[in-house]
Structure 1
Amino acid sequence: METITLNTGIELPIVGTGTNTYGKENNDYQGKINGDTTELDQAISLGYRHIDTAISYRNESVIGDAVKKSKLPREEFFLTSKIPGRPEYIETTEAVHQAVADSLNALKTDYIDLYLIHHPWDNNEEIFTVWRILEEYVDKGVLKAIGVSNFNQEQLGFILERARIKPAVNQIQSNTSEWNHAIIEYCQEHGVVPEAWGPLSRIDASCRQALTEIGQRYGKTWAQVILRYQIQRGVAVIPKSHNPERQQLNIELFDFSLTEEEMTTIGHLKNKEQNN
């Protein structure tokens, strides 16, 4: 697995697994937590070590169970979780401390590799207050790196201009529905690693066909092509699948390279079936 170096010096595996429907009845985001670690057991056995979760997913404990069940050393894993921007988690210093403590407890670990503010809200000063508390956990070694998710240029810039510890990652949607090219470029210009959530989601038939045609040149699927596009331009990805064959394909990205022309073509793909 290739890695990308965060501005903290930490190595982030450039491909991880999303988990927002893992350990839930019917693989439904809103489903009841059933504690099933099957998908993660599969992913870990295939070589995934970068695992992305969040308080809002309600399944941090499932990730913690799978990591423990693997019997692999904790340091082999790169665990990401996220604190929501909802009042019950961020309106007081005590609430933030409790959120971090609860994440540690659920993940059954004494440190988290990357902790993100899951969504911005309409008060940059409040966001920065939360950020300063998270910086204290970096000082203690409890959070190895901190970052943000779904932040636009203005919101990220507000933190970059004031933070003692700069955001290491900005996790954003990036696919043919919304590439977010501008914020990705802004992140990279400022030493923040962009990470794509939903890299295989919201891709219509016309885009899949174009990606399939490129993939045929390399014996790769459309999904492998779009993931390769992202990592080749320095964007980490966290695809998610419940299927072990697809999980395997999603990490078989390092035995081919796209041409500059192919990269340009992919970067200009746009869904034709989007609803206005």
Structure 2
Amino acid sequence: MEYVTLNTGIQLPVIGSGTNTFGKVDHQYMGEINDDTSEILDAIALGYRHFDTAIMYRNERVVGKALKESGLDRKEFFITSKIPGEEQYYRDEQAVHEGVQQSLAALDTDYIDLYLIHHPWDNNDQIALVWRVLESYVEKGILKAIGVSNFSPEQLDALMKHSTIKPAINQIESHPGKWNQEWIDFCLNHHVVPEAWGPLTRVSDEAKHTLSMIGDYYGKTWAQVILRYQLDQGVVVIPKSHHHGRQKQNLELFDFELTPKDRETIATL
């Protein structure tokens, strides 16, 4: 595994696993929680140590349960969760505290490695209030790093101007057809690590064909080519799969290197 060092000095594995349909009936996002930890435990056995969840996913407790069931020390894992950009979580400081405490209790942990504001909303003063509370948890060592998700360059810039601790991460949509390169470049230029959610989603058949042709040269799948390209751009990736073989493949990205020509082709998809 390779790592990137965040602005609070902690190291983040550059490949993680999304979890938004884990522990749910029929793997449906809005499915009933069934507390099935088998897929997370399978991922842990394969070598995953970085897992991404959120209050909105309703399955923080499933992630926490899996970590305990793994038998590994909590320090082996890097866990991300997120506080929703919804009024009940940002209406005042107490609401923010309750959100953080909700995550800690559900994950059954006394600290969270990375905690994000899940979505921005149209009130920079309220966002700054939430951020100040999150900063206080970093100062206490309860949140090891903090960041945002789905923030545009303008929204991220506004937050940075009203923060003591710069966001460590901006988790954004990035995949073929919507690389969001402008957002990625802004993050990198301001020393905020970009992280791609859904990096393997919404890939057209045409794009898959091109990516598969590139992958054939390296003995890799179209999905592995996408993930390698993202890593080459300085983007952390959190692909998600319910399939053992694909979970394994999503980790096998460090034994090949795309050529500049390949990267140019992929950038146009």
The TM-score with structure 1 as length reference comes to: 0.97
In structure 2, the residue matched to 1:13 is: 13
In structure 2, the residue matched to 1:212 is: 212
| C-alpha displacement of 1:177 | 2.8
For these two proteins, the number of residue pairs brought into alignment is: 269
Query: What letter matches 1:34 in structure 2?
Result: N
Q: Secondary structure at the match of 2:18?
A: coil
CA distance in structure 2 between the aligned counterparts of 1:264 and 1:109, rounded to whole angstroms:
43
Does residue 1:84 correspond to 2:115, yes or no?
no
Cα deviation 1:223-246 (Å, max 9, x = unaligned): 000000001111000000000100
Structure 1 segments (4+ residues) deviating >4 Å? none
In structure 2, the residue matched to 1:93 is: 93
Query: What letter matches 1:259 in structure 2?
Result: T
In structure 2, the residue matched to 1:38 is: 38
Q: Secondary structure at the match of 2:194?
A: strand
CA distance in structure 2 between the aligned counterparts of 1:6 and 1:260, rounded to whole angstroms:
27
Cα deviation 1:91-127 (Å, max 9, x = unaligned): 1111110110010011111000000000000111111
Task: Map residues 1-276 of structure 1 onto 2, 5 A cutoff.
Answer: 1-269=1-269
**Gapped runs of 5+ residues in structure 2?**
none
CA distance in structure 2 between the aligned counterparts of 1:202 and 1:150, rounded to whole angstroms:
17
| C-alpha displacement of 1:266 | 0.6
Cα deviation 1:201-222 (Å, max 9, x = unaligned): 0000000000000000000000
Pairwise CA RMSD of aligned residues? 0.6
CA distance in structure 1 between the aligned counterparts of 2:188 and 2:115, rounded to whole angstroms:
19
**Gapped runs of 5+ residues in structure 1?**
270-276
Aligned-residue sequence identity (percent) comes to 60
Query: What letter matches 1:73 in structure 2?
Result: D
| C-alpha displacement of 1:198 | 0.4
